Amino acid sequence: MPRLALRVRCPACGHEFDTGIRMDTRNFARATFAANYHVCPACGRRGTYGKSDYTTVEQPADGRRSPTR
C-alpha cells in the first residue's frame, strides 16, 4: 500500500506546503482530521486545517511522487 504525504495550501498567501504527515491510504480514509494546525513556511501564518483541506501525494517505493486527491 502506498504512503501518502499530506500537503495544504495557506489561505493567506496561497503557498502549498508539505505538512510532514505521512500515512497509508487506508488510514487516511479512516482519519477525521477535525482541527490540525500548521504554520506556513512562506508567510508564517498558523492555520487550522480539516480533512478536506489536505492534498495527498503518493510516495511509491521507487521514490517517485504523483499527486492524488
Per-residue tens of pLDDT for the chain, all 69 residues? 779 999 999 999 999 999 999 999 999 999 998 889 999 999 999 999 999 999 999 987 655 555 554
Alpha-carbon distance of 15 to 51, in angstroms, equals: 18
At 30, which helix (H) or strand (E)? helix 25-30
Model pTM above 0.85: no
Domain ranges of the chain: 3-61
The reported pLDDT for the residue numbered 10 is 98
The reported pLDDT for the residue numbered 2 is 78
